[in-house]
Each structure stands twice: as structure tokens, then as C-alpha cells.
Amino acid sequence: MKKYTFLVFHRDYEPFLEQLRELGVVHITQKAAGLVENDERLQAALQHEDELRKLLKQGAPDQLLNERSNIQQRIVDAQTAAQQVAVWGDFDAARIAALKEAGYTLRFFACSTNAYNEEWGIKLNETGGKTYFVLVETPASQDSEISELLEKATEIPLPQKSEKQCLLEIEHLKGLLAAAEARIEAWQIANIEDIKQQLTEARQQIDWQRVTLSTDQLADGALCLFEGFCPIDKEPELNAMLAEAQVYFEETDPQKEDATPIKLHNNWFVKLFEPLTGMYGWPNYHEFDPTPILGPCFLLFFALCIGDCGYGLMLTLVGYLILKGKLKIEMFDGLGGIIMALGVGSTVIGYLMGTFFGVDIYRAEWFPESAKALMFNNLGVNGKIGEYDVMMVLALVIGVVHIILAMTIKAISYTKRNGFKNTVSTWGWLLLIVGGICTAILAMTFSLPTETVKWILIGIGAISALGIFVFNTPERNPLINIGAGLWDTYGMTTGLLGDVLSYIRLYALGLAGGMLGAAFNQLGTQVLGENPNVGTWVGFILIVTFGHVLNLLMACLGAFVHPLRLSFVEYFKNAGYEGSGKLYNPFKK
């Protein structure tokens, strides 16, 4: 990026802004949000934008939507009423009222079928363990008989409409609903494109107002001063335009204190994971973009947590369908590519872990022996390294490598930004940890003499101690540096141990998912039995399908949250990542 400072005569200010917007390559620096967002005109424009966005999302005005909603509710009420009166059969409320005037009152009751007495009245229906009957009450009826009936049955007020009438009302309401839907569709055809255009204009107006509010007025308003940033590859276009414009400008390199925007340059694969970086915060101009490391590591962690190649194949299929627009899920809109990548990774890692829909294919006789050669169970002795499961050891090794990678990036990044003398302590810790691990590996691999190993470790320890305890802050008193080094040692020792142990979750989640999948398989097999028939096969399919879908959904939730935590906490903390940057957003149409 290059920083530009523009000084424009007030008469040329708006024409010059229009030229910049037409060119669309300059990210104009805005003042603090509180100084800009509190402007009344901007607030009104933002409110108007929200209203347009809401209208576009709803797809119709509130009046039309409320009309449709009211009709839908009336249909539900009518359906409920139809269900309630269905037990009474077809009747005419007017004729029942006429009978009452003639001295014959019909009273409707319900009681449990076991308690029903045929002498109570005329049975109309029997369903759901209840009997529904009607009592014809005349002037000669005895009160004692009715009082006995009321103790064992419940009198039900008869609705004013029969089931047949309710069904006719439902059909009428469905016609009204179709008309309401047609009005909404007609409104959308007539207005949606216009609203989209209004929304575009509103956004451009908001951008314009933010730019003008971020411009300083000098010399009693005669001069306008503002700043912006332009990518180096766009400089020729901007400089050609400025050569013709009647404005004064300065071009400089961005400084530390500048709010320089960033423009990420990643390949198609890494771009899939940029939304994850954005969830934490974009890198500032002087930081490394963490996405090239975050993406592959998150993919690996996610796959280890899923731990099943069958689930991986399902995710791959879902991602492909979303990517091609065959499957519409609003919350996953635009994420088909990353879901597909995670599915492919889970398929490969699940195969290496030897699990397919909860089945241990490493021990399955029907699975080809040649295909088992690459599986993790071949590591160590019978899938164990010492007394520990190979996947548990692998998870810890991945954690150590991940944290060392973070510390290396931190050391390089801090050196680039602050100079080597101000990052001696960081390099000291990196040398101590990496040097110690490499020495241990070399000693075990090549059987180095004990004396040689001792002197290597002494050398590494001495050099690291100088960086950590003596030269951590060169300008400061050495005694203070030693105290700071001791405190840093306590924090690093406890912190690193906890960070590394956090990676066991990769092993635990994969193990839990595999065990739960196997449990559903076992339950389905028990239902199937030794002599299966159509009924047991249906039960088996239902249990296995429901179980694995449920297990996959839970596994995906854990496989998203926990790798994200390992990236945002363990990795970013040890990498010294701040994530306080802002994406390059040029002022343009």
C-alpha cells in the first residue's frame, strides 16, 4: 500500500471525489467511528439503508405480509376447530337451536370409554380412549340422573360450526391465501429490482457522507484535507488521474501509526478459509496473514475430530450440492467450497484412522489388507506407542509442531517490525524449545554419546538464558531483566504445558464420534437379529440412519468449535497475532 494525502480547493472537492469514486482504487481513511457515525444526516441514511435491506429480505411490505400471516393463522384455527368437532359428525347448529325451543335440549358429553354407560345417552363416536355421546334433555328428565352423569363425564360446549362447515371455510381461506400470495408475488415483480437500485444508491450515499465527514476543513473551509491508501499495483492508474487533476497530493510509505488497510493475496484454496480469519480479526498492515497456516491446520484438526471417512464422504456430497446450488441452506450460503474441502480432508483422515460409519475397517476381514498399510494403526506396536494410543500421541505431536510454528512466526514477525535487539527473548525461547526437541530426536535417532548431548544442551541453555534473562530488553537494568525473565519463564512453562495438552481434544473427539457410531451400528444389529425380516430391516435402517445423522451433526459442531479454539487461542496467542486490521475497501461506485 501507498499512503496519499490530498489537499483540495473547496470548489474542486466534490468533482475530485467523483473522479476518485469513478476510478475506485483509493481506500479513504475515516475518522473515529464516534466522530462520524453520530452525524444526523448519516444516521438518517443508515436508517434508510436498514429499511431497504429489511424490505428486500422480507420480500414484501409489512401490510402484505401481515395479511398473509393472518389468513394462515385463520386456516390453522379452522383446521383445529374441524378436528375438535369431527367427533360429533355432521350437524346443523340452527336445527339444534330449534329443537331446544321445542323443549328438547341436546347436551354433548365425553368420558373415558371404560366409564361409559349406554343409558346416559346416544353414542356418536369412540376414539382415543374416549367416548363421545349426546343426551337429549326433556322437561321430564330427572335432575338426579343428570347430576350422576356430570360426576363421570365432561360436558362439552358444541361449536357453532360442524366439521363440514369448517372444511368449507378452510377451502375459502386457502383461496384467500392464494390471492394474498399472488399480490406479494406481483409486488415483488414490480418493486424488487427498484429496491435493489435504491439500496445501491443508499450505500453510495453513505460512503460519500462518511468520506466528507472524514475530511478536515482548513483555512476557514477554503481547503479540504483527507488521506487514503492505494495498492501498489493500482498506483499508475491513480497517478495518471492525479496528473490531470488540479489538486495537491503527497505520496508516502505507510507508518506504524497509520490505519493502513490490508488486501489479502491468497490462492483459491486458502481463500476458502479467509472467513475464519475474519471471525477473529483481519491482520494489520504490519502482520503476517495467518490464513495460509490457519486454513490447512483447521482442515487437519476438523478431519481428526470427525475421524470417519464415511462422514467425510457425506460432507463432501453436501458441500458439492451447496456449491452447485442444488441444496439451499441459508446459513451455509457461499460456504459450499469450504464444506467440500473439509469433507475431502475428513475422508482422507478418516481412512487413515480406519473408521467408516463407525465400522473399524482396520480389523474388518472384508477390507483389503493392502489398503490397510497406510493406516495409523500400523504405527507403533498394535496401534500403541508405549502405553498410549497412537492417535493420542499424534495429537500431542501435532500440538507441539503447531505451537512451535506459531512461535517461529512470532519471532520472525516481531523481528521484522521491531528489530532483532527487541526480540532477543522471543528468539531465546524458540531456540530453547526447538533446540531441545531437535537434540532429543537426534540423540534417539542416531544414538549420540551422552557427553555430546550434554554439551549441546548446555550450549543451547546458555545462549537461550542470555536472551531470556539478560538481553530481553537491552536498554533496561540487567537485574530488572532477570526478574522479568523469571516471570516470563513461569508464564511460558505453565502456558505451554496447558496449550500442548489442549490438543488432546483432537484425539478425544475423534474417539468419541467413532465409539458413538459403533454403538448405533451395534444397536441396529441387535434389532436386525439373526433371522431378519422386513420389520427388523426397517428398524435397522431407521436406527442406523437416524443415529449416524445425529452423530454427524454433533461431530461437525465439535469439529468446528474446538479446532477454531485451538487456532484462536493456542496458535494466535503463541504467534503474537493481534488481528486489529481493516480490509481494503476502496471508495467506488
pLDDT tens digits along 452-501: 888 888 888 888 887 777 777 777 777 777 777 787 777 777 778 888 88
Q: What mean pLDDT is predicted for residues 138-151?
A: 68
Tell me, what amino acid is at 584? Y
- Name the residue among 110, 104, 140 with its Cα closest to residue 120: 110
pLDDT reported for residue 141: 65
pLDDT at 146 over 90: no
Q: Are residues 397 and 471 in the same domain?
A: yes
Q: What's the chain's average pLDDT?
A: 86
170 lies in some domain: no
Q: Are residues 230 and 241 in the same domain?
A: yes
pLDDT at 83 over 90: no
pLDDT reported for residue 120: 82
116 lies in some domain: yes
CA max distance for the chain: 118
The 10 Å CB-count burial string (b at 16+, else e) for 459-477 is ebeeebeebbbbbbbeeee
Q: How far apart are CA 495 and CA 489, in angstroms?
A: 10
Model confidence at 32, pLDDT cuts 50, 70, 90, reads low
Domain that holds residue 406: 393-501
pLDDT reported for residue 36: 60
Q: Are residues 548 and 516 in the same domain?
A: yes
Q: How far apart are CA 271 and CA 334, in angstroms?
A: 12
Q: What share of the chain is helix, strand, coil (3-state, %, to 5)?
A: 65, 10, 25
405 lies in some domain: yes
- CB 201: neighbour CB atoms within 10 A? 13
What are the C-alpha distances in Å from 527 to residues 518, 524, 544, 545?
A: 14, 5, 10, 14
pLDDT reported for residue 140: 67
Sheet strands (E) in 346-480: 355-356, 359-360, 384-385, 388-389
pLDDT at 186 over 90: yes
75 lies in some domain: no
77 lies in some domain: no
Answer with the one of 472, 501, 530 that is the final residue of a domain: 501
Q: What mean pLDDT is predicted for residues 15-38?
A: 81
DSSP string computed for 67-106: HHHHHHHHHHHHHHHHHHHGGG-S--HHHHHHHHHTT-EE
Q: Are residues 365 and 513 in the same domain?
A: yes
Q: Are residues 521 and 489 in the same domain?
A: no
pLDDT reported for residue 85: 84
pLDDT reported for residue 70: 94
Q: Are residues 516 and 493 in the same domain?
A: no
- CB 498: neighbour CB atoms within 10 A? 10
Q: Residues 581, 531: contact at Cβ < 8 Å?
A: no
Model confidence at 41, pLDDT cuts 50, 70, 90, reads confident
Q: What mean pLDDT is predicted for residues 220-235?
A: 90
Q: How far apart are CA 92 and CA 226, in angstroms?
A: 81
Tally the domains of the chain. Answer: 4
In this predicted model, what pLDDT tens digit does every residue of 334-385 receive, in sequence order?
888 999 999 999 999 999 988 899 888 888 888 888 888 888 888 777 777 7
Q: Are residues 239 and 308 in the same domain?
A: no
What's the gap between Cα 356 and its chain centre? Answer: 26
Q: Are residues 126 and 224 in the same domain?
A: no
Percent of the chain whose predicted confidence (pLDDT) is above 90: 30
Model confidence at 171, pLDDT cuts 50, 70, 90, reads very high
Q: Are residues 208 and 135 in the same domain?
A: no
Q: Are residues 212 and 117 in the same domain?
A: no
pLDDT reported for residue 154: 86
pLDDT reported for residue 419: 81
122-125 long-range contacts (CB < 8 A, ≥24 apart) are 124/87, 124/88, 124/89, 125/87, 125/88, 125/89
Model confidence at 386, pLDDT cuts 50, 70, 90, reads confident
Reading the block at residue 257, the C-alpha cell is: 501509526
114 lies in some domain: yes
pLDDT reported for residue 586: 92
Q: Residues 225, 47: contact at Cβ < 8 Å?
A: no
233 lies in some domain: yes
Q: Residues 341, 267: contact at Cβ < 8 Å?
A: no
Q: What mean pLDDT is predicted for residues 551-568?
A: 91
Reading the block at residue 291, the C-alpha cell is: 490464513
pLDDT at 181 over 90: yes
Q: How far apart are CA 561 and CA 553, in angstroms?
A: 13
Q: Are residues 400 and 495 in the same domain?
A: yes
pLDDT reported for residue 296: 93
Model confidence at 430, pLDDT cuts 50, 70, 90, reads confident
- Name the residue among 298, 340, 335, 300 with its Cα closest to residue 318: 340
pLDDT at 143 over 70: no
Residues 6+ positions from 65 with CB-CB distance below 8 Å: 58, 184
97 lies in some domain: yes
What are the C-alpha distances in Å from 242 to residues 6, 7, 357?
A: 10, 12, 63
What are the C-alpha distances in Å from 548 to residues 262, 356, 534, 542?
A: 43, 11, 21, 10
Which helix (DSSP H) or strand (DSSP E) does residue 3 occupy?
A: strand 2-9
In this predicted model, what pLDDT tens digit does every residue of 278-318 receive, in sequence order?
999 999 888 889 999 999 999 999 999 998 999 999 999 99
pLDDT reported for residue 209: 87
The sign of the torsion formed by the CA atoms of 252, 253, 259, 265 equals positive
Q: How far apart are CA 162 and CA 545, in angstroms?
A: 43
Q: Residues 324, 342: contact at Cβ < 8 Å?
A: no
Q: Are residues 370 and 434 in the same domain?
A: no
- CB 438: neighbour CB atoms within 10 A? 12
Q: Residues 560, 302: contact at Cβ < 8 Å?
A: yes
pLDDT reported for residue 18: 92
Q: How many residues does the chain have?
A: 589
Q: Which DSSP letter does residue 467 get?
A: I
Q: What is the reported pTM?
A: 0.76
Q: Residues 39, 282: contact at Cβ < 8 Å?
A: no
Model confidence at 145, pLDDT cuts 50, 70, 90, reads low
